[in-house]
Amino acid sequence: MSEPIQPPIRLLIHGASGRMGQALLRLAAEPGPPFAVVAAVSRKPAQRVIDGVPFFAGDELDGVPAFDVAIDFSLPEGFAAILALCLARGAALVSGTTGLSEAQRDARDAAAAEIPLCWASNFSLGVAVLTELVERAAAALPGWDCDIVEAHHAQKKDAPSGTALTLGNAAQWGGATPRYASLRAGDIVGEHTVQFSGIGERIELVHRASNRDIFARGALHVAGRLAGRPARAYRVRDLLA
Ligand code: NAD
C-alpha cells in the first residue's frame, strides 16, 4: 500500500539543460510546495554541480541518488531510460516529453501498472479547459470542418505538436474529423487554434502560451500531488485539486 511522502519531496529533473528543464530548476527552488531537487540529468552536462544540484549525463542514470518523483521534459530518445529508472526505483514519473513513438507510448502505459505516472502533452490549466471546450463544440457541430493550427519556436522537433494531437483526440471524441497544420518560427512558446467551419460561419478557439513557466508550474504541482500515490496513469485534471 502506498504512503504519502513526507516533505521535502525529492525531485529528479530529466532534460535539465533544456528550456523546460531550466524553468523547472528555477521554479522548484521557489517558496511553496516543499521540493528538494536531488539530481538533474541532461544529455551532456556542461558542469557537474550547478547551484548545489548534482548533474548527471543521460548514460549515468544508475548513479543518481534516491528520489521520489522524476519530472521529464526531454526528447523521445531519452524517454526509455527515465521510464526504466523510475520502474527500477519505484519512483513516480511526471512527463511532458512529446513526439513519443507508439512503442514508447505502449511502454509508458504498461509502466503505469507499477508506478504512479502522469504524462501530458500540455501541463497548462488553459489547455485543460480548451480540451473540454473542443470536445463540446465538436459534439454540438456535426458535419462542420475541424482544423487545428499550431505554431511553435523554430527548434521544436515534433509536428503536429503533442497538444495539437490531444486537442484532435478531444475533437474526435466529439465526432469531428480534425486536420492539422503546423508552423515553426522564431521563439513562439506555443499557440493552438481549433477552428470549426460551417457554411457561412466559423468558430475559433485559441490558446496562446506566452511563457513556458505555465507548463513548469503545472508539472511541479502535479509532481507534488503524485508522490506516494498508488500506481496508475493519472491525468492532469485528476491532480488539480
Ligand atoms: P530542449 O531541446 O530545450 O531540451 C531538451 C533537454 O533534453 C536537454 O536538456 C537535453 O540535454 C535533454 N536530452 C535530450 N536527449 C536526452 C537523453 N537521451 N537523455 C537525457 N537527456 C536528454 O527542449 P524543451 O523545449 O525544453 O522541451 C523538452 C520537451 O518537452 C519536448 O519534448 C517538448 O515538446 C516538451 N514540452 C512539453 C510541454 C508540456 O506541457 N507537456 C511544454 C513544453 C515543452
CATH number at residue 101: 3.40.50.720
Residue 188 lies inside a defined structural domain of this protein: yes
Which of 17, 74, 161 is the best mutation target for the ligand 1 pocket, counting ligand atoms within 8 Å of the beta carbon and taking the most? 74
58 in contact with ligand 1, CB cutoff 6 A: yes
- Please, are residues 35 and 23 in contact by the beta-carbon 8 Å criterion? no
Say whether both 15 and 103 belong to one domain: yes
- Give the pLDDT of residue 1: 47
Say whether both 94 and 205 belong to one domain: no
Res. 238: pLDDT tops 50: yes
Say whether both 31 and 44 belong to one domain: yes
Residue 3 lies inside a defined structural domain of this protein: no
Say whether both 232 and 143 belong to one domain: no
CATH number at residue 143: 3.30.360.10
Residue 34 lies inside a defined structural domain of this protein: yes
Cell 531510460, located at residue? 81
DSSP letter for 219, please. Answer: H
How many CA atoms lie within 13 Å of 80's alpha carbon, on the beta-carbon side? Answer: 6
| CA of 162, closest atom in ligand 1 | 34
pLDDT range class, residue 233, cuts 50, 70, 90: very high
pLDDT range class, residue 199, cuts 50, 70, 90: very high
41 in contact with ligand 1, CB cutoff 6 A: yes
Res. 136: pLDDT tops 70: yes
Say whether both 35 and 115 belong to one domain: yes
Q: Show the domain range for 81.
A: 9-119+214-239
Residue 4 lies inside a defined structural domain of this protein: no
Say whether both 14 and 115 belong to one domain: yes
> What's the count of helices (H) and strands (E) in the chain, helices before strands?
6, 12
DSSP letter for 208, please. Answer: E
DSSP-derived secondary structure for 132-158: HHHHHHHHHSTT-EEEEEEEE-TT---
Residue 204 lies inside a defined structural domain of this protein: yes
21 in contact with ligand 1, CB cutoff 6 A: yes
Distance CA 140, CA 158 (A): 31
Cell 508550474, located at residue? 217
Res. 32: pLDDT tops 90: no
Res. 2: pLDDT tops 70: no
Q: Report residue 29 as a C-alpha cell.
A: 527552488
Q: pLDDT of 37-79, one tens digit each?
A: 999 999 999 889 999 999 999 999 999 999 999 999 999 999 9
Say whether both 188 and 230 belong to one domain: no
Determine which one of 14, 156, 192, 207 is catalytic: 156
Q: pLDDT of 121-133, one tens digit each?
A: 999 989 989 999 9
- Please, are residues 164 and 205 in contact by the beta-carbon 8 Å criterion? no
DSSP-derived secondary structure for 119-130: E-S---HHHHHH
Say whether both 46 and 100 belong to one domain: yes
Is the backbone peptide bond immediately before 4 cis, with ω within 30 degrees of 0?
no
Distance CA 219, CA 128 (A): 13
| CA of 96, closest atom in ligand 1 | 41
Residue 2 lies inside a defined structural domain of this protein: no
Arithmetic mean of pLDDT over the chain: 95
- Give the pLDDT of residue 154: 97
Say whether both 203 and 228 belong to one domain: no
Residue 1 lies inside a defined structural domain of this protein: no
Distance CA 229, CA 81 (A): 22
Say whether both 91 and 37 belong to one domain: yes
Domain count along the chain: 2
- Give the pLDDT of residue 237: 82
Q: Report residue 170 as a C-alpha cell.
A: 478531444
Say whether both 81 and 178 belong to one domain: no
Q: Report residue 90 as a C-alpha cell.
A: 519505484
Say whether both 29 and 56 belong to one domain: yes
Residue 203 lies inside a defined structural domain of this protein: yes
DSSP-derived secondary structure for 44-100: S-S-SEETTEEEEEGGGGGGPPP-SEEEE-S-HHHHHHHHHHHHHHT-EEEE-----
